[in-house]
């Protein structure tokens, strides 16, 4: 038995869209599809279920050369990735400066 099962949702992944269940164990998605049973179950009928968020527009690098008088850049790839993970974002797309 899984910790959590999100049932009957429209599961959207990078490769497909379909209706089914998503199983979570220890805070991680461990199963998609099939007849899953969980200690806690959420009915997601008529809802989208995205097993990980995607942020396609982040800035984790400095302009080269840095703009004189600009504020200090706070995030780098490590700290920005850690912040994304903490918020459930599993994929980031860094916008580079030309």
In this structure, of 8-12, 23-27, 65-69, 83-87, the range with the lowest mean pLDDT score is 65-69
Torsions phi, psi for 2 (to 5 deg): -85, 160
**Which pTM value belongs to this model?**
0.61
Q: Which domain holds residue 87?
A: 53-94
Same domain? For 38 and 57 the reply is no
Same domain, yes or no, for 38 and 58?
A: no
Give the residue-averaged pLDDT of 49-59.
Answer: 86
Torsion of CA 7, 12, 17, 22, to 10 degrees: -30
Largest CA distance in the chain: 59
Chain segment 59-93, per-residue pLDDT in tens = 887 766 666 776 677 788 899 999 998 888 888 99
End-to-end Cα, the chain, rounded Å: 51
Claim to verify: residue 6 and residue 45 sit in the same structural domain: yes
Same domain, yes or no: 9 and 40: yes
Burial (CB count within 10 angstroms: exposed 0-12, middle 13-18, buried 19+), residue 76 = exposed
């Amino acid at each position: 038995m899984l910790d959590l099962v999100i049932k009957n949702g429209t599961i959207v992944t990078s490769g497909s869209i379909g209706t089914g269940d998503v199983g979570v164990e220890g805070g991680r998605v461990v199963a998609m599809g099939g007849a899953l049973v969980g200690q806690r179950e959420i009915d997601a009928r008529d809802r989208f279920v995205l097993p990980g968020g995607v942020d396609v527009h982040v800035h984790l690098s400095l302009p080269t050369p840095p703009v004189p008088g600009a504020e200090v850049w706070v995030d780098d790839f490590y700290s920005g990735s850690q912040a994304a993970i903490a918020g459930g974002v599993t994929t980031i797309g860094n916008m580079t400066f030309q």
